[in-house]
Structure 1
């Protein structure tokens, strides 16, 4: 590919036809290269400055298999639809694998601690719930702003904004972690105020204190992952997690149950997880420095500490979109705990199952954000709209697979985690509702990804808040405690909330003015370009 492009470009220059093309006929833009530009007149006329992007249309590092890179060359919506199905599938698979490996970090800790004692397991579960609600959900929500900014920047004429916005997000998250640290270091008193068992609260607080060593790395990893993925480097986080995941499992074993010189018991699990998060961060930095082209990188400067308003605005809306969903689960778990041990054990089985299957539509939602953002940056409004429809169809297909699996194995599914006859029966009775839940959960996840690509996190937050807290949870609690439906009532309430979110999300995707979305991206990039020129005139320092 590179040889053909170079040959074509040399011919253009030798024939005096002008600048190098930004696209080639197979639909993949060229790799950054200026070494073949030989005529002196052309070089003098096109000398790059410090802020000049290395290429006018950066490439995706996954071979997309798109035959019509310019949507105007393809009159058929059906052809574009099939191409987008293929692209989204290629994007989703490595993201799904990455999240499965990361999900295994928590599973390894729970498995390791679960064999110490019931109290230790309860403390670790409580600590993880607290960490999710007060820390991880906040970080994920803030970083979702990058789903809007980075993909569009990468395919624009200013790909170095990918690096700049990533640096700015590091500043925003660093400031956000200060109150999170305060909560985690004072978790015991907070949990006691919430009437938790004193011994469990103490152990959970110990777990959280040791987990603080991994929180900055966790935040960095969320940002670096989007930095790579926006450039089409989906396999980079997957490779890193593939190496670190078994290391994490071994660390959990040795620290919690290993030989005397290295065994430290309960605190070994959070220490192992923190070390693993830091290993991912170090590996990401090394990979980014030595194995990735610097097209997306922006030199560190004072600009990294300015222009944070856009990130904060999108990030806070993203927190509302992400955290509202995470918090709804904790409320449902609290309600399930009031129904007795069997109901709580059943809820654990269903929650673990749904969390595992959710990784697939969640990966698709991230892939959708990247793909649509890239297309908006390329000003391909028509293809962006078709890609959104393709993502919804894929979500339905994936969810149908999970639903069929739950229905087919409903009578024996609980045995994976628990063999109590009452729990097995309860799980079997609720799984049909969970199967329906899967479909709307997948659609809602993908439409949320489309909204993030458009920078409409606030709309997503309002949908989730109204869907869960106004409709779903109150309805579920009413069914559970007033109508005597038990645990199934909570799941019916959750399903109703997701039906609401998915229907409205799909409607918003269908009625989107994609030309307007392209203009929003262009305007945003124009503002950043203006700021760059002003910074250059002011002689801002770089280091």
Structure 2
């Protein structure tokens, strides 16, 4: 992070090695030293009969036979470092002096990366829609219980896992273009971290009824919600694994792999929801059929990912399972906990907003549901772009292309605005009839139409905030993102929205004004941090992180 922000430029795990290894030399001098010593010229060294050494210190040439000794780095260094094929031939300032040319190329690359990610997340979002539709026709109580259960699952489980796994957005893409086998190693370590995290989460889910009763929820609704969570818990380990495996594939540029899998599983999930909830008598199990269908679907995704990874993907990024998979977890935990603060703080703010809306009456709550579903669907596009941006910038930092990484960050923000304008135009154009997609109550239709122009403006800042969060993750700045989100939502937006809604009698409009103000705040800070970033410094952080891992690997031998 740039020192302009006044916040420390790196987490403790970023530079533990920098002062000792670099001394007073410049970054360029260090790069030249490493190049001479074999850390950046491995393919040429092998061709000349020299065994590459991962250490930064100078080593004497060894006979060619030494290059054939099996070491942890042999498969990687015996071939050129892999790169993602993207049709971009400009690799440095000399080859492509025009910023505009690089900008256009990055727009194309980001668009190509975003499309399959968007498809994946949209179809995964359909899992929730299928459950709601299936249960919604049982009874109002059942629907309320399912909604409460999913809200509890999101706050106490899904948001935490997503936040922890966001650490991989920092580590994997840069590793892929510099030291690919670390992609597999860090993925294994994250599985260890998330597995340990599942224990307290599952304890909450299995004791949900008593917790919900303490929160003064209706006893019948609380009981059904607890039943839903118990059955949904069978899919939680698979959900955690899927979050990690998706990053594993995407960091290698294999964006289509999760998309292919979800395109097969999503129809199966819809079919299972229908069969289990409304199917023939011998198969129909009613309310619990929806969480069982979702759990089966998550496990099918996990099984398919394992099969695809074993039989259809090159093993370049794979790291043999060893004791190292259970070591070096500190950096992941630090980045992951900061990621929880960044991700969960936003998820929790929406739950608080929905709770506030429930005090405004049935019509306002129904309107909130329509607007929330609509915004959640459109959010999948900028969220996909944010993940694509994390991968792209991480890859470029790993390849030491600082200038292109900075231009790519700016291109991502421009693309986010373009996508948001499309959604805004759609909402404004169809605002009078939009509510009919979900509800035909005249009061709800009128209220939705009156708020949609505000939601249309909200889209622009929501898109920018999502993408700048992805840029922060690529830089390992989850803690900065968490501080921005917490201050935006809990200090500014939500209190301001509640004051407008209940003190100034603006109702649901006030709540949406508050959330929009939060996102304006996030967007302004995000853009500022992007344009003031020292990208050469970000490259140094990546090189240093990889140097530490190589040093640890040597010590482990």
TM-score (norm 1): 0.90
2:314 matched to 1:290? no
Distance 1:424 1:299 in 2: 57
Distance 2:171 2:93 in 1: 22
| Structure 1 position 45, deviation (Å) | 6.4
Contact 2:43 2:80 in 1 (8 A): no
Among candidates 122, 126, 140, match of residue 148 of structure 2: 126
Superposed CA offset, 1:217-259 (max 9, x none): 0000000000000000000000000000000000000000111
2:190 matched to 1:144? no
Match runs of 1:96-495 below 5 Å: 96-156=118-178, 158-495=179-516
Q: Secondary structure at the match of 2:295?
A: helix
Structure 1 residues 502 and 48: CA distance shift in structure 2, 3 A: farther
Distance 1:110 1:154 in 2: 39
| Structure 1 position 44, deviation (Å) | 3.6
Over aligned residue pairs, what C-alpha RMSD do you find?
1.4
Distance 1:176 1:478 in 2: 37
| Structure 1 position 167, deviation (Å) | 0.3
| Structure 1 position 71, deviation (Å) | 4.2
| Structure 1 position 21, deviation (Å) | 6.9
Distance 2:520 2:440 in 1: 32
- Stretches of 4+ aligned residues off by more than 4 angstroms: 18-22
Distance 1:393 1:336 in 2: 33
Structure 1 residues 80 and 483: CA distance shift in structure 2, 3 A: same
Aligned length: 498
Among candidates 58, 65, 68, match of residue 82 of structure 2: 58
Tell which has more relative contact order, 1 or 2 (C-alpha 8 A, sep 6+). Answer: 2
Superposed CA offset, 1:106-154 (max 9, x none): 1001100001011000000000000000000000000000000000000
| Structure 1 position 57, deviation (Å) | 2.2
Distance 1:309 1:265 in 2: 44
Contact 1:145 1:452 in 2 (8 A): yes
| Structure 1 position 260, deviation (Å) | 1.2
Q: Secondary structure at the match of 1:219?
A: helix
Distance 1:49 1:20 in 2: 16
Distance 2:419 2:63 in 1: 51
Q: Secondary structure at the match of 1:73?
A: coil
Gaps of 5+ in 2: 1-40, 46-61
Distance 2:453 2:475 in 1: 34
Q: Secondary structure at the match of 1:349?
A: helix
Distance 1:92 1:45 in 2: 43
Contact 2:91 2:401 in 1 (8 A): no
Distance 1:511 1:101 in 2: 36
TM-score (norm 2): 0.88
Gaps of 5+ in 1: 1-17, 23-40, 537-543
Contact 1:71 1:380 in 2 (8 A): no
Q: Secondary structure at the match of 1:116?
A: coil
| Structure 1 position 262, deviation (Å) | 1.0
Distance 1:92 1:179 in 2: 34
| Structure 1 position 194, deviation (Å) | 0.6
| Structure 1 position 64, deviation (Å) | 1.3
Distance 1:391 1:290 in 2: 34
| Structure 1 position 261, deviation (Å) | 1.4
| Structure 1 position 73, deviation (Å) | 1.6
Contact 1:463 1:501 in 2 (8 A): yes
